[in-house]
Amino acid sequence: MSAARRSPRFDVDHLIDDPRTHVIVCCGSGGVGKTTTAAALGLRAAERGRQVVVLTIDPARRLAQAMGLTELDNSPREVPGITAPEGGRLDAMMLDMKRTFDEVVEAHTTPERARQILANPFYQALSSSFAGTQEYMAMEKLGQLRRRGQWDLIVVDTPPSRSALDFLDAPERLGSFLDGRLIRLLGGPVRAGGRAYRAFFQAGFNVVTGAMTKVLGGDLLKDVQTFVNALDTMFGGFRERAEQTYALLQRPETAFVVVAAPEPDALREASYFVDRLSEDGMPLAGLALNRIHQDGPGGIGEEQAIAGAERLEATGGHDLTAALLRLHADRLAAAARDRRAGDRFAAAHPDVPVTRVPALAVDVSDLDGLRQIGDLLSTGG
């Protein structure tokens, strides 16, 4: 057996206490604990004296309630019940994707134009369900919060995408789509009615909008035309905006925390993501391995436990003890699996600092639970 590689320790408190850290982005694949980690880091930073806002995306209902997020009003509110020293403060909000899109429109055009756009069915479908909109709007919101300048630390949760990379790719993709030649072509016939143009337009339309037509129905064409024409007069371009926020993510004041479960799929995603951050010059702070199984108290090893259970099962009469021994063996096996998964990551990325957070027995749905996760993040598990 090769010697286990140890990753450098991810010193979470050093990161959140550093006054140069202004943005923390929690990324990772679906369901690994991004929202929990973002909320726990925000709470911990506030209770250590920083002025923090946490931008959460689709938090579980009970967690949202615990943070005082009972309304989806798209702006931060102070979280009640925290015990921060002088100067410390925690605000939190849930991202309302559609409302954020509406705000962008309203901020860049006349009230009359804004009304037309907001009422447009194509716009409504785009702003509430188009793939990538949530990622785009999370970045947009981050940009807005940053410009407000009210907080010295912004902790950002990312949408529940299958792949962590979507957070980085989707805004550019959506921006290109909205700024792109094709959508301008879709808007074309209103401005240029020539037959050749129309034929070309029709071809492009057929290729790309098959899926959208299903969602939007037959009036799509007219809606898109009016939408695009309104967009034309509106502002400097969605792509440009996406690029600006992207640039914020490359600044040294930003720190990415990659969250992963100790499972091959999640760690593979985390690996891709770590590589991508370094390619794009984005600052990675470390990896949080979340929900790891622990060995528990030492003593009986896995093989011993299984052998013991088998002996008891053969003689009979000690069913409960045998079941407990099997449970113990399962737990040790799970802990060993998690350790191996972590070791493989460490071998591939020996320089990435890692912290380990054990799986708690219950869901994290109140401030005390978040504090506990914060402690575990900081001690490394």
Ligand X SMILES: Nc1ncnc2c1ncn2[C@@H]1O[C@H](COP(=O)(O)OP(=O)(O)OP(=O)(O)O)[C@@H](O)[C@H]1O
Residue 316 beta carbon to ligand X: minimum distance, rounded to whole angstroms: 37
Secondary structure letter of residue 9 according to DSSP: B
We find the least distance from the C-beta atom of residue 173 to ligand X, in angstroms, to be 19
SS3 assignment, position 288: strand
CB 56 → ligand X: shortest distance, Å?
9
Q: Which does 156 bind (CB under 5 to 8 A by kind): Mg ion, ligand X, none?
A: none
Asked if residue 355 binds Mg ion (CB under 5 A), the reply is no
Q: What are phi and psi of 196, to 5 degrees?
A: -60, -45
Give the binding range for Mg ion (CB under 5 A) out of 30-38, 60-68, 173-181, 306-314.
30-38
Of 59 and 171, which has the nearer Cβ to Mg ion?
59
Buried b vs exposed e over 78-87: b needs ≥16 C-beta within 10 Å? Answer: ebeebebeee
Q: Should residue 35 be labelled a site residue for Mg ion when binding is judged by CB under 5 A?
A: yes
Beta bridge mates, 55: 93, 156
CB of 158 to ligand X, least distance (A): 8
Please identify which residue in the block is written with the tokens 């188009």: 130
Alpha helices in 252-366, H assignment, sequence order? 264-279, 302-315, 319-348
CB of 7 to Mg ion, least distance (A): 25
Among ligand X, Mg ion, none, residue 33 binds (CB under 5-8 Å by kind): ligand X
Report the partner that residue 90 touches, choosing among ligand X, Mg ion, none (CB closer than 5 to 8 A by kind): none
Quick one: 35 or 209, whose CB is closer to ligand X? 35
Q: Which CB atom, from 58 or from 179, has the smaller least distance to ligand X?
A: 58
User: Pick from ligand X, Mg ion, none: which does 60 bind, CB < 5 to 8 A by kind?
Assistant: ligand X
Give the binding site for ligand X (CB under 6 A). 28, 30-36, 58, 60, 160, 290-291, 357, 359-360, 363-364, 373
Q: Which two tokens stand for residue 141?
A: 């919101």
Nearer to ligand X by C-beta: 18 or 58?
A: 58
Residue type, 167: F
Q: Which two tokens stand for residue 71?
A: 């309304």
H or E element that contains 92: strand 89-94
| Shortest Cβ 32–ligand X spacing (Å) | 5
Q: Are the C-beta atoms of residues 153 and 21 closer than 8 Å to each other?
A: yes
* 52 membership: H or E segment, kind and range: strand 51-56
Which structure tokens are listed for 267?
A: 């760690």
Q: Are 284 and 24 in contact (CB under 8 A)?
A: no
Nearer to ligand X, 62 or 115 (CB): 62
Q: By CB under 5 A, which span of 29-37, 300-308, 319-327, 336-344 interacts with Mg ion?
A: 29-37
Q: Which is nearer to Mg ion, 30 or 121 (CB)?
A: 30
Alpha-carbon distance of 37 to 41, in angstroms, equals 6
Q: Which listed option, Mg ion, ligand X, none, makes contact with residue 180 (CB within 5 to 8 Å by class)?
A: none
- CA–CA distance, 241 with 252 (Å, rounded to integer): 20
Footprint of Mg ion (CB under 5 A): 34-35
